[in-house]
Amino acid sequence: MTAQLVKVATEESPNNSKLISPQAENPSPPPGKSAKTWSRLKRLGKYVGINPALIASLAVTGLMLGYKHLGMLQFFELKAFDRMIELRPALPPDERLLVVE
């Protein structure tokens, strides 16, 4: 019975050729509202000759730098800094300090 299964699995059929064939050059856009944005990025990438992923990463980097410049990320930066200070081990007392009573 296993010989029959091997024979069936190795035979050429239209369904097997679809599974083995390489993926299409242009991937299908993700579902939802992002499909329109994806198609715009693909067209822009073809026009400029740059990969759409590179364009998207540059756009996100620009937005993040803009947010940082405007101070919109300061709250999160301070919270992360506070957490890092809390996790730091306790420091020994400084010998240069003199307490006078």
**Structural domain containing residue 81:** 35-85
Q: What is the pLDDT of residue 14?
A: 52
In a domain, 42, yes or no: yes
Q: What is the pLDDT of residue 55?
A: 86
In a domain, 44, yes or no: yes
20-44 residue pLDDT tens: 555 555 556 556 667 777 777 777 6
In a domain, 59, yes or no: yes
Task: Give the whole-angstrom CA distance, residue 10 versus residue 7.
Answer: 5
Burial 6-21 (b: 16+ CB within 10 A, else e): eeeeeeeeeeeeeeee
Q: What is the pLDDT of residue 52?
A: 81
In a domain, 73, yes or no: yes
Q: What is the pLDDT of residue 17?
A: 53
In a domain, 40, yes or no: yes
In a domain, 66, yes or no: yes
- State which residues of the chain have pLDDT below 50: 5-6
